[in-house]
Structures are given as structure tokens and as C-alpha cells.
Amino acid sequence: MIRTLFLLVIVFLIHSCRVSKTKNVVYSSANNLLLDVYAPKKITEPKKILVFVYGGNWRSRRKGLYKFFGKGFARKGVICVVLNYRLNPTQ
């Protein structure tokens, strides 16, 4: 059991090292809007870029909940940008 857990941790660490993450890049200072960029660690040629805008009916959620999405695409060789957007004010 401990050996299996140890191997899973090693695989996770190796797998996560292939992704470069740049967090909280300001794309609108007036509204304090931020984005995260997930990219393959070694980029030797031009890559495709995916901009991911999560659903939430303009009322809830945040970009941090979707880091699995950005990391997954980066592992496949795609640069993924996950951004926050202004939410609808609550009444």
C-alpha cells in the first residue's frame, strides 16, 4: 500500500513538472481582471493557444477552479489561458 502511494506521488510530480504556470496576469487593471497561463515547459516551435472562459452565468466561479483544464491542455502541447471576468453584481 505504501509503495503504491509512493509511486503515485512520484508519477504526479513528474507529470506536473512538464507544465509552466504564470498566475494572475492583469489583463484589465480598471476592473482588476486576471488570467492564468498554462504552457508546456519546453516550447521549441509555435504552439496553439486556447482561451478558456468558464461558465457560471456571470454570477459565480473563478479561474482557479479550472487549473486542471489548463494543465491538461499544456501537457498536450497547447498553451491555455484561463481568465476571470466581471461577475453580475448581486442585488
Sign for the pseudo-dihedral over CA of 58, 60, 66, 69: negative
This prediction has a pTM of 0.74
User: What are the residue ranges spanned by the domains of the chain?
Assistant: 19-83
Grid cell listed for 35? 488570467
- Residue of higher predicted confidence among 15 and 33: 33
Backbone angles phi, psi at 72, to 5 degrees: -60, -45
- Residue 83 and residue 54: Cα distance in Å, rounded? 8
Q: Is 13 helix (H, G, I), strand (E, B) or coil?
A: helix
The listed range with the strongest mean pLDDT (15-19, 42-46, 85-89) is: 42-46
Judge contact between 15 and 75, C-beta under 8 A: yes
Most confident among 43-47, 62-66, 81-85 (mean pLDDT): 81-85
